[in-house]
Each structure stands twice: as structure tokens, then as C-alpha cells.
Chains A and B, each alone.
Chain A
């Protein structure tokens, strides 16, 4: 039986003891309460009752000398504490006496209810559990719809805060966990929950207890967590049973929510696909309006990519929230392993505004670092419905470049003047350099600096005379070398595509 006796401090936080207050003789954590006995009035004489609570049903005047006498008798009978009807403060004598005898004196407007509750948790833990589970089941049947209301109902049944926490301890729904307690919870829980695992009990250093039950549904694993501020053994035994009953309901709500999310994502992605591929029919326009997309105006495309496996549909909310937090009215669409987004302005933004907007997007990226590891490209401002596609294409290119460039914080902004630089920068990437070297390999080891001659020739807009002047050789030499280069590479320098490829390759080779 003693294993079921809660401490006084724990009982004072228990749901059935909400209206019980300490009037005198306070201690922390106080004695353990093995049970409860009732006395009609203050004049009564308690029988020996070691470790139990003495509940006095009638105590109209807390300054009465008989309260003092009762405290003395209760102490002699071995009572662990005294609970009086009413919450008026004790007389000074009773307070001094309670401290002296180390006998906590409590008060409650409804002493009988407090008495019954204590007896239930100490003597009938199974009944406590059965009642809570039954109530949870009954209440949950009435709950309609939202996940939040399931958590609220559970919280109301337990009269304890209930949280849906991610595997990192972050709050997904319900009352947030205390920041200080999150690490202790995360440390105690396995990274990958198993469906049949028993509920976890985490005893925090503060003395509180967290009960966690895994919720398995669509999407990442999460935990249903209830926080009990003190250890009332019967409650600690009952709460896991309740959470186990609630967990499937939460899982179902999560799955429904996920389904909705995926449906919306599909809708957005397909519409964006139509926009990008130039099919701008009336129907497309209407659907865009339905989704709240503004096709006219000036658009800035943004591409956010993420390394590794990313739940683009599930994490979309994070991205939207990050944009909202920076005050950017962005449309965000899941695309591949990342998100495409764009910001629409009614008139053409000035250069300063573009800069400010880019800075804000950078801050968005920094916000996202907590959840995903993003690389971000930003396109130029483009007008009209087609502008979305154009700007997004630029953003996509920029993002591809940004991915490998840690030195710029994996962020690239294609502004008006920077495109050439960007492309040039691309020629220095690991992708292009081997290709460039392969392209020029046939002329590399030939006598007479054929690579240098080719570079100068292309730089001077294919002028033999200019090339000769730049290199300080005779123009016939230049002519002969160019012929040799064309022969060795098997290219026609009159073809603009081939000329461009070679020109870029020369830049790399230098």
C-alpha cells in the first residue's frame, strides 16, 4: 500500500485537490499520505492513524482555540496532515503550533471531495485508471474534427497539460513543453519509436513526470506527452492507459491532416507546372485566382532547395511561416525536393527595394536552417504572368549554383547586372572544368601556344589582325594557328554555338 502513497506536495498538484490550500505548517515535499480519515467537527478525538490525513468536515472558525487542540490531538494520533473545511487563514497560535509539531494544516472548501479523492488514489488505483480511461473514451467520441480539440479534450479529462511533440521535443500541437524539460524528454525517448512499445515515463529533475506515448501515423513519428507536476502513483499509473487510448485518435487526425496537405500540394504543383510550361488558358487563370495567386504584376522567383530527404509537403508550413515572419507575402509551392516561391508586387520595385527584399529572403533562409539545410536562389524581377516562369527559371539556376557555394552562405541573387558574372562563375564549377579541359585537350600540348592564340582570337571578335597585335606575332602565323586549331579540334569557328563553348573553355583554362 505504501507504494501508492503520494507526497503532500504531489497531492497539492493533483486534479482532485485543486481547491486545497496550505494554511500552516508547510513543508516541502511534506509527508506521504497513506490514506484519509474523516472527523465530523473540531471537537472530535481522532483514533490512531499513522501517516494518514485527518479531514475535518466542520470547522467554521479557523481562529477557534479548538483548532489548536485538534492539531495537538492529530499530531499525537500520528496523523500526517490535517485538512479543515474552509480556506480562511489559521489563527496565529495554530500556525505556530502546526510549524512546531511539523504537521501541515490544509484547507478546502469541499473537504469531503478531497477526502474521497485521496482515498481513491491511495486505495483504489485501478478505479482511478478505469474511470479516466472510460471518460477519455466517452469524451473522444463526442470530439469532432480537429487535432487541437482531441488534445484539449484529453487535457480536460486528465486535468493536465497534453502536448503533441515531435521527436526533437518541439511542440506540434497542444500546450508547449517547457524549454528546460525538452532535452530531458528527448534524451529519454528513442529516435525511432516502435508501435508496440510501452508508454515512456520520464522523471524530470524538477520532480515532475512526463508520460509519453508514440503516435504512429503518416509522416514523421511524434509523441503524445502529458505532464504531471508531481508523482501521485495512481495517476502516474492511469495516465499512460489514457494516452494509449488517445494515441490512435491523434494518429488518425494526423493522417487526415496529411491527406489534405498532400491534396493541396498536388493542386499547387500541377498549377505551377502549367504556368511554367506556358499553358496559360482561362482555366489556369481561374484556378490561380482560386488559390489566391496573382499572375499580373512584377514577380520575383525564389527557389529553395534542401539537401537530403525532405518532406516538402509536410515542411511547407515551416517555409510559409518563415516568409510570414519576415513580412514577405510569398506564394510557396512544393516542387521536387524543395520549394518554389515567388513574391508579387503591383509595380516594378526599385533597386533599393530589390536589395531589401533579397536581404529579407536571406533572413528567411536563416530561419529555415533550424529545420532543413536550404540553399536559395533568387531570380530577377519579371513582369506579367510569364514573369513567374522566367524569374523562377533564373532562381532555379541560381539555386543550383548556390548549392555548392558555402562561401556565399548557399545564397545567390541574380540581379540585373550579375547574370554574366554568374555564368562566368559557373565556368569555374567542378561540373564545367573537366568538360572544358576535355574540349581543349587536343590543342593543349601542341607547339605555339594554341590555347592562348584561340583565347585571344575569340576575345578580339575573330579578328586575325587584332590577335596578331595582341600576341605580338605575324598575322599569317595567327591564321595558320587558327586553321590548325580548327583541324585539331574538329570544330567550325564560324558556328556561334561552338565558338561560345570554346570561348568559355578558354576562360577556364587560363
Chain B
């Protein structure tokens, strides 16, 4: 089954990938606008992963400081140079694109690349949501190498990296983007479609589109539980943000590479204290001191009035919000995969708490 995206779907898609971002993943609106201009009156097919049998797929996406995108604008050639570089290195022609990350701006960046390069887009990605590290790519977790891969930054520099483990690749990518424009396009090796999608999360953008459409269907009179029901999630809190504390770059135990923060929301009806631990994303939600939901489930904070999702770095004390938990990608729930994206992977010594279980 194939889903088709037209310009008028983009608004819903932007909201959908933002929800999949769980507070992180970067602002997808810029790529939403770029995609809108590229599409015009045309359309883009989201190919179902099971329908693609042959050819090589290359996952692409933006890595680095996604917030810099707003200041350091893309030149427009990053995707094509990165994909061509990795294709030349491996000797395999790229027959289609998929995304490295479904949450946040990378939910849309690969679509822009597909339109620009004139390649088909397969609705498969390596995370199914937004996550901060390359070793959390499903390929890495499944034991598939992430290299060779190519990086291309807006200044025109291209780097091809090979023979390196995910942690080493992470270091290479970080040092590259730090010394260039702050962000770069990453294109992973072209891989036979069956292999590429077997170790990937599939259907994330279709889900994003559904979430976005359900969100758009909510009227102003929708109550908090209506919102949770419409999005298929659970309401954790409804009230005012009492505190947003950010602890800077202080690492918080193993895995805590990013600045840890804490958000406190006092639920208005019950006066319950809802606390959310954050890094780049909302990671762990507690109600009255009891952890109730963790990664890989999605914790989303919505503006209570406009119902727009609020990112971790945009949340402020005094905001009136709804705190929701949505089911995360099913792919991560199986077996040992959970340990790579559970709270312990972020330095939070807590067992994963999934929505069905709670």
C-alpha cells in the first residue's frame, strides 16, 4: 500500500514528526516549507517497505546541531553530494532513499532529498522517533555496520568514513560538524532494499501523518483526555510548568552525554506533581514521584491552548501544558533492543516503563 503526500498534508506531517520527536529531533517546520515549495502542486509517494524488493537504499538525514540549521542555511547540494560520495565509494548506485530518523526535522529532510535527487522514498527509518546518538540507529543495534558513510556540510566539504564502530563514527561526526558548519548531511551506504528495511523501523511517516491528521481534527473544545484519546496515548498531566531546570553540559552518569534537565508540571485537577527528565528529548516521566513512562515511548508536551507540541528547549516556566505519553515504535520493544534506547541508555537507572505495562 502506498501513501501519497501532497502539499496540504504537510502541516499534519510536520505535527506528526514533531510528536515522534518526543520533544527533540529539531524543528521540522523549515523542511516542511522547503518540501512544500519543491512539491508545488505535485505529489510524493511514501513507498511501503514491503513493496520494495530490489535496488539499493541509502538512509539519509541531518546530523549535528539541528538548531543551527535556522542560521546556517542549506546550500541545497548537501544531500546529492553525500549520496553520490557514498555511492562512488561503495560502487553501488542508489535506487531509493530512506530516513535515518523519523522524529523531528529528519522526518522531512529525507523527503526533500528524495524530491531533489528524483529518487523514490521508502517509508523506513533507523529510529522510528527521535534519539540523540548514532549507536541508537536500528542498524547498529541489529549488528549491521553503519559504515561506509559520507558526510557533506553546507560549505561543500565531504568526508567519507569507513571501518569504524558506531561509537567511533559518533566521535568522527561530532568533531567534523564542530569544525565546520555545526551540522552536516549523513548518507549511509547503499544497501539491498530487503536488508535495509529488515533492520529498520517501517511505516513511521504514515504513522506521523495519521497522528498529524488526528491532531488537526481536534477542535478547540477538545478536553485533555479527548486529545490523549485522539492521539492514542495517555494523559499524564494538565497544568502549569512549575520549573524548567537545565543542568548545562554536566554529564549524568554513563550515557549522559547531553545536558540533563528537569521539567516540573503540577497537574491542575489533582495537584499531582509530574516530573519529566530531559536531555535532547523528554526521557522519563514521573507522577507523584513514581516513574510511569520512559523511552522508547514518546513523552510529548503540548501547549494547552493551541495543542502545538513544545520542544524541550522551547519549554518555559509558566507554560500551560498537557503532558502526554504515546506508544513508541514497536521495533524497539523486542528483546535486547530495549536496552539500547531504554532509560539506562541515557544514564537513568530505571527499568523501561512501556505504556501497555503501566
A residues within 8 Å of B by Cβ? Answer: 43, 63, 65-66, 68-73, 75, 91-94, 96-97, 100-101
Provide the main secondary structure of the chain B interface. strand
Q: Mark B234-254, 1 if CB is under 8 A from A, else 0.
A: 000000001101010000000
Q: How far, in whole Å, are A97 and B290 apart by their CA atoms in the complex? A: 11
Residues of B within 8 A of A68 (CB): 273, 275, 286, 289
Cross-chain contact B349 with A43 (CB below 8 angstroms): yes
Known contacts A91-B262, A92-B242, A93-B264, A65 near B273 by CB under 8 Å: no
Known contacts A63-B247, A93-B264, A96-B266, A69 near B289 by CB under 8 Å: yes
Closest chain B CB from A450 CB (angstroms): 107
Task: Tell yes or no: B291 within 8 A of A by CB.
Answer: yes
Q: Mark B283-326, 1 if CB is under 8 A from A, else 0.
A: 01010111100000000000000000000000000000000000
Known contacts A92-B243, A93-B273, A96-B273, A65 near B290 by CB under 8 Å: no
Task: Tell yes or no: B39 within 8 A of A by CB.
Answer: no
Cross-chain contact A96 with B242 (CB below 8 angstroms): yes
Residues of B within 8 A of A70 (CB): 289
Cross-chain contact B291 with A69 (CB below 8 angstroms): yes
Residues of B within 8 A of A69 (CB): 286, 289-291
Cross-chain contact A73 with B245 (CB below 8 angstroms): no
Q: How far, in whole Å, are A66 and B343 apart by their CA atoms in the complex? A: 13
Further contacts, 7 of them, CB under 8 A, given A69-B291, A75-B289, A93-B275: A72-B290, A73-B289, A91-B264, A92-B243, A92-B245, A97-B275, A101-B288
Cross-chain contact B288 with A65 (CB below 8 angstroms): no
Closest to B242 in A: A92
Nearest 5 CB-CB pairings of A with B:
A72-B289, A92-B243, A93-B275, A68-B289, A96-B273
Residues of B within 8 A of A101 (CB): 288-289
Known contacts A72-B288, A92-B243, A66 near B349 by CB under 8 Å: yes
Task: Tell yes or no: B277 within 8 A of A by CB.
Answer: yes
Cross-chain contact A93 with B262 (CB below 8 angstroms): yes
Cross-chain contact B264 with A65 (CB below 8 angstroms): no
Cross-chain contact B245 with A65 (CB below 8 angstroms): no
Q: Which of A63, A71, A73, A75 contacts B262 (CB 8 A)?
A: A63
Residues of B within 8 A of A93 (CB): 243, 262, 264, 273, 275, 286
Closest chain A CB from B315 CB (angstroms): 14
Residues of A within 8 A of B290 (CB): 69, 72
Residues of A within 8 A of B247 (CB): 63
Residues of A within 8 A of B243 (CB): 91-93
Q: How far, in whole Å, are A97 and B287 apart by their CA atoms in the complex? A: 9
Closest to A75 in B: B289
Task: Tell yes or no: B337 within 8 A of A by CB.
Answer: no
